[in-house]
Amino acid sequence: MASQNRPRTTRSLRLGLLIAAIIGLATGLLAWRQVQQEREIDLEDVGRRAHALAQQLSDRVLHALVLPDAQAREMLQPRLEGYQRLLGYAVFRADGRLLAAGRAVEEFADKLDGVAHAALQSAGEATQLTRVTGMRVYVFAQVLPTKGPVAGALVVVHDVSYLDDRALVRLAQYAFWVLIVSLLVVALVVGSTWFVYERPLTKLADWMRRLRVENVAESPPPGLPSGRLRSESDRLAASFRAARSTGRALSEAALHTEQEWTSERLRAHALVSLGDAHQIIVVSNREPYLHQWREGKPQVVVPAGGLVTALDPVLQACGGVWIAHGSGDADHDTADPEGRLTVPPGDASYTLKRVWLTREEEQGYYYGFSNEGLWPLCHLAHERPVFRAEDWEHYRHANRRFADAVLDEAGSGKAVVLVQDYQLALVPRLLKEARPDLRVGLFWHIPWPNPEAFRICPWGAEILDGMLGADLLGFHLQQYCNNFLDTVDRVLESRLDWDHFSVELRGSRTRVRPFPISVQPWSERHVPADEALGRQITELKTQHHLGDTFMAVGVDRIDYTKGLPERFRACARLLEKYPRYRGRFTFVELGAPSRTHIPRYREHLDRLEALADEINWKYQSGGWKPIHFLVAQHDAKTVHAFLRMAPMCIVSSLHDGMNLVAKEYVAAQSGGDGVLVLSEFAGAARELSDALIVNPYDIERFAEAIRYGLEMDAAERRARMQRLSRQVEEHNIYRWAANFLSALAAERATGAGAADSSKAAIS
Ligand code: G6P
């Protein structure tokens, strides 16, 4: 609590100091002016006194001035001495020559010439404030007689050093009072902010926590700084209690029924699973919504990729914070100074907190270590991983940055942290080192290779150690869990429990389990339906000159793991072997450019475009061409329309953790009879066994599978798609998240080495 309050206290302290500084500066300036004015008044007093003294002596000096020098000096000398602050007098003849001076004045009589001459020249008075032998002196000169022809000048000299001392004392006194006033202002601002805002808001936060954790029946605390806040808090309490009691009922029922998982059900389940944890924090490299400048305006882009597709609905259902790299060129301009904004745009359900990385960090951590190293390491697509020491340093540093952002977000409260994917393998350990009480889950969205393949990573042990900071580690498939435990067995000194699939390292336990990820129903995604969808499909067909041919579709990030050349070649082989399909079969690939900063990805895109051209050149005729390679970041509405209009979808990954496009296609069919051609090397093939399963390297059989799909009779198509739909509907993303959260909650509840927690999961 204390550390959560610190930033607010510092803010009010800073405000108090600022106000005090402004007041201090203003009063300081006023005090300075005041001291100057008082000094001027004192000087005027001295001037008046000098004038009066000159008057008293003037008769005698006039008499002396008519005598020769020696007699005049004799007559004047006794009268020219001073006493106390009056240092003495000096007398000048009309031609400016010094006639006589008191003893104290004589020492610096040459310095008085100027002021005496000034008085003689103006035939009146002159004054001067000057410094002699370490003293501040005030010199007053007056001609004699004051009327008529000038006979000489009388000079009166005062020591006014005491005026400087007096000014200093006055300044010190003012400064003391300015300091006292400033301190009072600081105390007043900090105190009043505490009483008016911080105390009631801290009480409100405590009340909210009790409401969430203990479901208390008490009203919001009194003294809230605004009536609106109070009435909204009342309403919040009412709806929260209602949601919670429904949640309890639903959640208890959920464990025993096969009822469909929805976002509401997940929300209720999450409340129970989270228990006393304050919030869900998701942390990933890729952000769910990025902003890019288009025609001078920031535009929202939803990045392609399974991670965002899967996690965004979970956070929309449960609320919380998603921490990710802010990679869009308009990201800075669309977030607050702390990098935060609420998303989805226009339907705020959770907070996105952007982490800023320098270009060098992004290059080393994201493009380098993550995507030229770990990505090819984990995917068996025969692409050689590249490991560079400087990329590893950036990877470590960036992981630290993400972990710090999570710790910052969690404050001192309890939280469940869901770390995502291979870019952040070190984050779980970093979190646990700082906050052992956090509940940390890591989900690995890509395959895990066998130990021999993994061993080539020079920093394999550090990666494993980082991952094993998590309480729960999820993969898509049991096979990846097996590979992971095998790898740990070979690389680290740790205790493996093959019965419970857990690893014990340095006293903490990590449970390793499969959680096949899935998708959200399309009906929740604001995509056109019925007539509007029909119109959209007609428009797309016209726009891309698709005609009425039999259409197969593919939707992918353009990545060498997706088997796109194999897919194009299988289509070409179909046309070569079965000429009757020329002019009657079209393959549309919606390809989203990805990681194009990496040369291998750029080359891949170029080669694919060349291959599509080559095949089109060979077979196209009339207005028809076999391959439409549409390279762009296609939005969800466009993807949905293509998935709905295509009677076939082809997924041909060479290796893929899950592949959510396959599930998206099935989800889009909603009772339809589309055919799914699916690579056996995509994780999804384990669940979607009613697809036509292919080996994408075997072009001949791949082409045959497409032909079989084209010719499959309607009854078989429907039966297969019905079974696929049931599988995807039942095992949707909400069930995945509920399973993961339950397992994570059970893991923490049972503690290291305790009973089998799998019972808590929803199968
Ligand atoms: C895969 C990875 C994700 C990644 C996505 C898109 O699904 O598992 O972590 O976000 O690809 O790739 P990108 O590099 O654009 O984030």
What are the pLDDT digits (tens) for 41-91? 999 999 999 999 999 999 999 999 999 999 999 999 989 999 999 999 999
Indicate whether 214 pLDDT > 60: no
- Measured in Å, residue 617 CA sits from the centre of ligand 1 at 33
- Please check whether residue 92 is in contact with residue 155, taking contact to mean a CB–CB distance below 8 angstroms: yes
Lowest mean pLDDT among 169-183, 411-425, 603-617: 169-183
Residue 717 — very low, low, confident or very high, per pLDDT cuts 50/70/90? very high
Structure tokens at 232: 């909204």
Of 3.40.50.2000, 3.50.50.60, 3.30.450.20, 3.30.1330.40, the CATH number of 279-514 is 3.40.50.2000
- What confidence score (pLDDT) does residue 148 get? 85
Query: Using CA positions, which residue lies closest to atom 15 of ligand 1?
Result: 594
Mapping DSSP to helix (H, G, I), strand (E, B) and coil, where does residue 324 land? Answer: strand
**Mean pLDDT along residues 702-707:** 98
Q: Which three-class secondary structure string do you get for 574-622? A: HHHHCHHHCCCEEEEEEEECCCCCCHHHHHHHHHHHHHHHHHHHHHCEC
Residue 567 — very low, low, confident or very high, per pLDDT cuts 50/70/90? very high
Cα(first)–Cα(last) distance of the chain, in Å? Answer: 38
- Measured in Å, residue 299 CA sits from the centre of ligand 1 at 21
Q: How far is CA 706 from CA 472, 564, 664, 671, in A?
A: 40, 15, 19, 21
Sheet-wide strand order for 508-514: 340-343, 350-355, 321-325, 279-283, 415-420, 439-443, 472-475, 508-514, 502-505, 495-497
Q: Are strands 502-505 and 495-497 parallel, antiparallel or unpaired?
A: antiparallel
- What confidence score (pLDDT) does residue 238 get? 59
- What confidence score (pLDDT) does residue 689 get? 98
**Mean pLDDT along residues 556-564:** 98
Indicate whether 311 pLDDT > 90: yes
Residue located via tokens 């500084």: 21
Q: How far is CA 57 from CA 98, 138, 159, 251, 361, in A?
A: 17, 18, 19, 110, 88
- Measured in Å, residue 194 CA sits from the centre of ligand 1 at 45
**Mean pLDDT along residues 296-320:** 96
Query: Using CA positions, which residue lies closest to atom 12 of ligand 1?
Result: 305
**Could you tell me the sign of the dihedral formed by the alpha carbons of 326, 465, 312, 567, in that order?**
positive
Residue 174 — very low, low, confident or very high, per pLDDT cuts 50/70/90? confident
- Determine the Cα–Cα distance for residues 354 and 299; give it in Å rounded to an integer: 16
Residue 278 — very low, low, confident or very high, per pLDDT cuts 50/70/90? low
Structure tokens at 528: 């056109």
**Mean pLDDT along residues 205-217:** 67
- What confidence score (pLDDT) does residue 275 get? 81
Indicate whether 763 pLDDT > 50: no
- What confidence score (pLDDT) does residue 46 get? 94
The DSSP symbol for 635 reads -
Following DSSP, what letter does each residue of 82-129 receive, concatenated?
EETTEEEEEEEETTS-EEEE-HHHHTTGGGGHHHHHHHHHHTSEEEEE
Percent of the chain with pLDDT over 90: 76
Q: Which CATH class is domain 2-166?
A: alpha beta
Among 283, 286, 289, residue to substitute to test ligand 1 (most atoms within 8 Å of Cβ) = 286
**Mean pLDDT along residues 357-386:** 98
Indicate whether 301 pLDDT > 80: yes
Better pLDDT: 614 or 2:
614
Q: What dihedral do alpha carbons 48, 53, 58, 60 form, nearest 10°? A: 180
Among 282, 284, 289, 307, residue to substitute to test ligand 1 (most atoms within 8 Å of Cβ) = 307
Q: Which CATH superfamily is domain 528-730 in?
A: Glycogen Phosphorylase B; (3.40.50.2000)
- What confidence score (pLDDT) does residue 218 get? 67
**Could you tell me the sign of the dihedral formed by the alpha carbons of 28, 30, 33, 34, in that order?**
negative
Q: What is the mean pLDDT of the chain?
A: 91
Indicate whether 121 pLDDT > 70: yes
CB atoms within 10 A of CB 166: 15
- Determine the Cα–Cα distance for residues 688 and 684; give it in Å rounded to an integer: 6
Residue 133 — very low, low, confident or very high, per pLDDT cuts 50/70/90? confident
- Please check whether residue 123 is in contact with residue 143, taking contact to mean a CB–CB distance below 8 angstroms: yes
Better pLDDT: 5 or 673:
673
- What confidence score (pLDDT) does residue 254 get? 52
**Could you tell me the sign of the dihedral formed by the alpha carbons of 267, 261, 502, 458, in that order?**
negative
Residue 258 — very low, low, confident or very high, per pLDDT cuts 50/70/90? low
